[in-house]
Amino acid sequence: MLPGDEISKYLKNFDKLPSLIHIIVQPPQPATTEKRKIEGLDEENESQNRKKEKLIELNTPESIVEFLARQEGVKDDFTKPHKLCGNEFNFQRKGRDETLHQIYDFIIERYIKIKKTLEEKKSVGDKSFHPVLALQATPGGGKSFLLDELANLKENDLNNYLKSKEQPNRKCLENVEYHSYIKAVNNVIDMLRNSIAICITYNGHSTYKFDRFVDENLERGLVMRILWSYFFDDKELRWGDFCKKFRTQLESLEINTAVKSILHHIECLYGSKRSVFLCVDESLKILSRDNSNQKNQDQINNFLINLYNPYQETLDYKEKKGSLIRFNFIITTLDAVYVRETRTHLGRDINWAPLRRLDISESMELFDKFTEELDSNRAYIINRCISDCNGHPRTLEKFYKLLNGSNTTLKTNNFATLIEELTKSIDTWFSNISFSVVKLALLGKEVNLERTLKVKGKDLSIKDLISTGIYINSVTEQSNVTSVIPTLTLVSLYYFCMTNSEDGNAKTVAKTLKNILLLEDYFDFRSNDGKAFESFHMNWELLYRTLHNDGMEINLPEIYGLDQEGVKIKIQRKEIVKLPRDREFPNNEICDEKNNIIKDLEKYIFVPMKSNNSGFEMVIFEKKVGG
């Protein structure tokens, strides 16, 4: 279309216009409104296009596959799932084989139970046949990394699992039950080999940014994530663009139809029936802080119902092998309580896969790149820092980043400087570190996850402190879903010692902890001076008494972790008194270094300063219960 002044010039070049040419003349638009008109037309065209596309009926697996497969950005390889974990330094997997094996065990148990029931011509509609697979860990505990490893369905992992199950001794060879079990194991492993994994997450810090229209409906948000993750290359079509482009067409699509469309596409693509393994990361992120606990519980219940539907609906009753289960799923969560409660609300079992922290040897192996080039003394300091990360994967990753970025940090800085740098790099994690939090961890007692603490003017439960990354507990056994021994990293204790501004017991504990942590240097350098151990013991005695209530009655052996009966005493706060250097221990009156006579002996810890103190490091008087 040409403006009026241009069309006049154009006409002069023709003596006679062909009769089939139709020319529309449009007057020039004012410059100030031209852009606005064009934008308006674009919006109108987009709206019309959406209306036309909406006319396409996407209500069958075939129609969905036909529609999505012709879009731009579709994957070249549908067997490669989206990555959930950034894994900045390409850490190799450590300490996760038992978790993978437990997940396989749960799937096999379900398969055997369903198959046996079907052979008896009974229904498998009961909820007990369809438990949910779940794992819980604190932020940075390795959930996303584990799901990536699981979704890769590595041949080596599956073969190692088979080897762990196949133990054909003479007794086994004659055992019909053993052969039946091994056959079931092989069927399920074959199913997993031929499965297509799909990884999705609700973590807002990932590629999945919150979309109000998509995420205001749980089923819609789930369906959209599954379809995007399976069909599209995340580098070619981003999540936000996918939502914008297809929200109208897919807004009413049901979860069962979505999963069946993927199964249909897989069968068309590979010419055989295969299964889908859905890995759902950070399921807790569907909840809102503005909601009541009951409303959030309802959200989790509805979310799991949406996952259960295809779990049951896609069972292939005619299939005799492992692929009778066409859809498996696993979820990760920061909070075990909400998922645990679904057992009460929905009547379904939860199979908790254990996800422990790395042990010290596994943690150290991640740093072989650095420590192999260091002398033994320097490697010892680096390994001590690694140990203080307490096997928490993200803390280890942060320490790796410090070493990777600076030769001075790797080869020169002393232990205290290394820990200080590490603490500064992760200080945003510790916003809720307070004396109440530290005290509960130091006491080392098992507490209910619902128990609340007063933390900087807020009431926070133990599960809240785990889900925000203060305590680093994860579910490693079934009992952990109700109660735990709250656990902190040593790095977080350093942070508390450096930043505490509370008075009273908090100040005393921070000072005493700092003394204890600094004393480690003496042990690091293998000092033969017994005074280091004496000082450590003295500070430990002070710490124990500060953490417990004055007047608390306790068996004396219990203080030292001894399981035996003994004298019952009353806990008392104590102060340190250093005895004069010229005597080992006084026979009569006891005086301090300034010759002040000391009374109420049970209020003090007496530390002899004389070097040859005949083997005792201190004297403590206790108040016996009853006199």
Query: What pLDDT, on a 0 to 100 scale, did the predictor assign at position 404?
Result: 95
**Whether residue 610 has pLDDT greater than 70:** no
Determine, yes or no, domain membership for 519.
Answer: no
Query: What pLDDT, on a 0 to 100 scale, did the predictor assign at position 208?
Result: 66
Q: Could you give the CA distance from residue 135 to residue 479 in angstroms, rounded to a whole number?
A: 13
Are both 14 and 101 inside the same structural domain? no
- The CB-side HSE value for 384 (13 A sphere, CA atoms) comes to 19
Are both 129 and 236 inside the same structural domain? yes
Query: Pairing state of beta strands 447-448 and 276-281?
Result: unpaired
Determine, yes or no, domain membership for 467.
Answer: no
Query: What pLDDT, on a 0 to 100 scale, did the predictor assign at position 85?
Result: 95
Buried b (16+ CB within 10 A) or exposed e, 209-237: eebeebbeebbbbbbbbbbbbbbbebeeb
Query: What pLDDT, on a 0 to 100 scale, did the predictor assign at position 16?
Result: 42
**Whether residue 469 has pLDDT greater than 50:** yes
Strand runs (DSSP E) across 305-388, as ranges?
327-333, 350-352
Determine, yes or no, domain membership for 261.
Answer: yes
The parent domain of residue 33 ranges over: 4-55
Query: What pLDDT, on a 0 to 100 scale, did the predictor assign at position 23?
Result: 35
Query: What pLDDT, on a 0 to 100 scale, did the predictor assign at position 2?
Result: 42
Q: Which of 321, 352, 383 is the last residue of a domain?
A: 352
Are both 169 and 306 inside the same structural domain? yes
Query: What pLDDT, on a 0 to 100 scale, did the predictor assign at position 37?
Result: 43
Q: Could you give the CA distance from residue 593 to residue 582 in angstroms, rounded to a whole number?
A: 10
**Whether residue 253 has pLDDT greater than 80:** yes
Query: What pLDDT, on a 0 to 100 scale, did the predictor assign at position 169?
Result: 67
C-beta separation of 26 from 1 below 8 A: yes
Per-residue confidence band for 523, with pLDDT thresholds at 50, 70 and 90: low
Residue count (the chain): 627
Determine, yes or no, domain membership for 466.
Answer: no
**Whether residue 72 has pLDDT greater than 50:** yes
Are both 325 and 379 inside the same structural domain? no
Are both 399 and 341 inside the same structural domain? no
What amino acid occupies position 622? Answer: E
- The CB-side HSE value for 133 (13 A sphere, CA atoms) comes to 26
Place of tokens 């700092």: 514
**Whether residue 307 has pLDDT greater than 70:** yes
Q: Which of 324, 352, 380 is the last residue of a domain?
A: 352
Output DSSP code: residue 74.
B
Mean pLDDT for 244-269 is 93
Place of tokens 């996407």: 58
C-beta separation of 173 from 126 below 8 A: no
pLDDT digits (tens, 9 = 90+) for 316-365: 777 655 568 899 999 999 999 889 888 878 888 899 999 999 999 999 99
Per-residue confidence band for 611, with pLDDT thresholds at 50, 70 and 90: low
**Whether residue 572 has pLDDT greater than 90:** no
**Whether residue 382 has pLDDT greater than 50:** yes
Determine, yes or no, domain membership for 387.
Answer: yes
pLDDT digits (tens, 9 = 90+) for 80-102: 999 999 999 999 999 999 999 99
Residue 199 structure tokens? 């990884």
Quickly list DSSP for 91-102.
Answer: PPP-S-HHHHHH
Mean pLDDT for 9-19 is 41
Per-residue confidence band for 28, with pLDDT thresholds at 50, 70 and 90: very low
Per-residue confidence band for 221, with pLDDT thresholds at 50, 70 and 90: very high
Determine, yes or no, domain membership for 73.
Answer: no
**Direct distance between the N- and C-terminal alpha carbons of the chain, in angstroms, rounded to an integer:** 107
Determine, yes or no, domain membership for 34.
Answer: yes
Q: Could you give the CA distance from residue 138 to residue 118 in angstroms, rounded to a whole number?
A: 39
27 against 575, higher pLDDT? 575
Query: What pLDDT, on a 0 to 100 scale, did the predictor assign at position 627?
Result: 66
Element (H, E) at 579: strand 575-579
pLDDT digits (tens, 9 = 90+) for 160-190: 999 999 876 666 666 788 888 999 999 999 9
Query: What pLDDT, on a 0 to 100 scale, did the predictor assign at position 425?
Result: 92
Are both 148 and 44 inside the same structural domain? no
Output DSSP code: residue 597.
B
Give the other-Cβ count within 10 Å of 5's Cβ.
Answer: 9
Average pLDDT of the chain, as a whole number: 85
**Whether residue 20 has pLDDT greater than 50:** no
Q: Which of 374, 394, 425 is the last residue of a domain?
A: 425
Query: What pLDDT, on a 0 to 100 scale, did the predictor assign at position 481?
Result: 86
Are both 319 and 170 inside the same structural domain? yes
pLDDT digits (tens, 9 = 90+) for 129-159: 889 999 999 999 999 999 999 999 999 999 9
Output DSSP code: residue 458.
E
Q: Could you give the CA distance from residue 453 to residue 446 in angstroms, rounded to a whole number?
A: 14
Residue 10: exposure state from Cβ atoms within 10 A (0-12, 13-18, ≥19)? exposed
Per-residue confidence band for 311, with pLDDT thresholds at 50, 70 and 90: confident
Are both 141 and 225 inside the same structural domain? yes
Are both 266 and 243 inside the same structural domain? yes
Query: What pLDDT, on a 0 to 100 scale, did the predictor assign at position 460?
Result: 94
Per-residue confidence band for 9, with pLDDT thresholds at 50, 70 and 90: very low
Determine, yes or no, domain membership for 85.
Answer: no
Q: Could you give the CA distance from residue 514 to residue 496 in angstroms, rounded to a whole number?
A: 9
Query: What pLDDT, on a 0 to 100 scale, did the predictor assign at position 21?
Result: 37
pLDDT digits (tens, 9 = 90+) for 556-567: 888 888 888 888
Query: What pLDDT, on a 0 to 100 scale, did the predictor assign at position 525?
Result: 57
Mean pLDDT for 303-316 is 88
Between the alpha carbon of residue 263 and those of residues 153, 201, 304, 325, 553, the distances in Å are 18, 21, 20, 12, 65
C-beta separation of 188 from 108 below 8 A: yes
Are both 121 and 225 inside the same structural domain? yes
447 against 580, higher pLDDT? 447
Are both 365 and 348 inside the same structural domain? no
C-beta separation of 135 from 475 below 8 A: yes
Mean pLDDT for 5-10 is 42
Are both 268 and 391 inside the same structural domain? no
Identify the CA nearest to 414 among candidates 372, 377, 363, 387.
Answer: 377
Query: What pLDDT, on a 0 to 100 scale, did the predictor assign at position 24?
Result: 39
**262-276, 340-354, 433-447, 519-533: which has the highest mean pLDDT?**
433-447
DSSP H helices, 271-353, are 293-313, 336-346
Q: Could you give the CA distance from residue 112 to residue 180 in angstroms, rounded to a whole number?
A: 10
Place of tokens 């789930």: 222
Place of tokens 């199950």: 165
344 against 569, higher pLDDT? 569
C-beta separation of 283 from 331 below 8 A: yes
C-beta separation of 547 from 439 below 8 A: yes
Query: What pLDDT, on a 0 to 100 scale, did the predictor assign at position 178?
Result: 84
Identify the CA nearest to 489 among candidates 388, 595, 367.
Answer: 388
**Whether residue 569 has pLDDT greater than 60:** yes
Per the structure, how many domains does the chain have? 4
3-class SS string, 174-231? CCHHHHHHHHHHHHHHHHHHCCEEEEEECCCCCCCCCCHHHHCCHHHHHHHHHHHHHH
Output DSSP code: residue 26.
B
**Whether residue 435 has pLDDT greater than 80:** yes
